[in-house]
Amino acid sequence: MSEAEESQTVAIASAPQRDIPVDWEALEDAFENNAPEVHSYLHLGTGEVLRVVDGIADPEMHARIASDSEYVRVEPVSSREQYRWMERFIPMVENEELKQKLMRAIDGKGAFRRFKDVLMGYIQEREQWFVFRSERLRVFMEAWLAAHAFKPVPRPAYTPEVPPVKPTPVPPSQDQLALRRGRGLETLRKQLRDVAENLGGRDLEKVIAFAEFVKARRASRSFGIRAENGGTESEIDEIVGTPAAPEVEDDLAGG
């Protein structure tokens, strides 16, 4: 280790610990992926892991990340160390046939792919391998965090915002509806009186004739309803009443 690296290590070790929210699953993926074109960064404020892939990401992305002190580069576990994990796992396998297959699989180039392919047919041993590898990764992650004076803390749980519940409008009661109708009728009658006070005799006759016409039309509608429902002749005569005079109807039609 060079003097610069030693001084940097001493400075990190003597620095006060900083609480870092950690997404363990994302950080585990970053430590496992050691492809040369993949670069992972941990954000110290949120605990999120940013992955930058050469040839896909913006070429200036590395420079922007380097200028942000909240990002720290994640050094993945080397291929050599991950190969040792496979070597240590194979003796733990009880199935002798599988053990021989795994030993042959890790011999030569492409060992990682062949090792995974062999385990695909053995569900129980495959799950055991995942647990074993996850434990090894956890040891490396904790050592890396400690070396940088980072204290892992749980990430705050995301709580979606719940929109406020709008109160269900209460329909008005029959008494309230009757009161509103009564107030509406009184207002209309007052407006009619105000208008009538400013009209001359001839105009008042027209207004009265029109009112009689509306009254007769309403009565004819009631007559139809009563007739359909089997109303008596006396009831029908009472509703219809006396029709408007011809001269009044002509006056209404002619204005």
**Spacing of C-alpha 206 from chain mean position:** 65
Residue-level pLDDT, tens digit, the chain, 255 residues: 444 444 444 444 556 888 888 888 889 999 998 888 889 999 998 888 988 888 887 778 878 888 888 999 999 999 999 999 999 999 999 999 999 999 999 999 999 999 999 999 999 999 999 999 999 999 999 999 999 999 988 877 656 666 777 777 777 777 776 666 666 777 777 777 777 777 777 777 777 877 787 777 777 766 565 556 655 555 545 544 444 444 444 544 444
CA distance 47 to 45: 6
Asked if residue 82 and residue 8 are part of one domain, the reply reads yes
Asked if residue 11 and residue 120 are part of one domain, the reply reads yes
The bridge status of strand 38-43 relative to strand 71-73 is antiparallel
- What angle, 0 to 180 degrees and rounded to 10, lies between the N-to-C axes of helices 201-228 and 233-240? 160
Comparing C-alpha atoms, which of 44, 82, 81, 77 is closest to residue 144? 77
- Which tokens in the block code for residue 20? 């870092």
Domains in the chain, number: 2
**Spacing of C-alpha 64 from chain mean position:** 30
DSSP assignment of 206-235, as one string?
HHHHHHHHHHHHHHHHHHHHHHHTT--HHH
In a domain, 168, yes or no: no
Asked if residue 122 and residue 183 are part of one domain, the reply reads no
Asked if residue 190 and residue 138 are part of one domain, the reply reads no
* pLDDT value at residue 130: 93
In a domain, 166, yes or no: no
- Which tokens in the block code for residue 219? 């009565």
- Residues with Cβ < 8 Å from 152, sequence gap 6 or more? 20, 21, 22, 24, 142, 145
Asked if residue 200 and residue 113 are part of one domain, the reply reads no
In a domain, 114, yes or no: yes
Which residue, of 101, 122, 155, is where some domain finishes? Answer: 155
Asked if residue 183 and residue 139 are part of one domain, the reply reads no
Asked if residue 196 and residue 110 are part of one domain, the reply reads no
Asked if residue 221 and residue 118 are part of one domain, the reply reads no
Asked if residue 189 and residue 143 are part of one domain, the reply reads no
CA distance 20 to 8: 20
Comparing C-alpha atoms, which of 49, 7, 2, 14 is closest to residue 147? 14
Asked if residue 127 and residue 56 are part of one domain, the reply reads yes
In a domain, 160, yes or no: no
Do residues 137 and 85 lie in contact, with contact meaning Cβ atoms separated by under 8 Å? no
CA distance 40 to 27: 9
* pLDDT value at residue 224: 60
Which residue, of 155, 190, 221, is where some domain finishes? Answer: 155
Asked if residue 205 and residue 134 are part of one domain, the reply reads no
- Residues with Cβ < 8 Å from 122, sequence gap 6 or more? 95, 98
CA distance 162 to 139: 39
> What are 71's strand-pairing partners?
43
Asked if residue 223 and residue 129 are part of one domain, the reply reads no
* pLDDT value at residue 106: 94
- Which tokens in the block code for residue 231? 């109303």
Range of the domain at 58: 1-155
CA distance 201 to 208: 11
Do residues 155 and 22 lie in contact, with contact meaning Cβ atoms separated by under 8 Å? yes
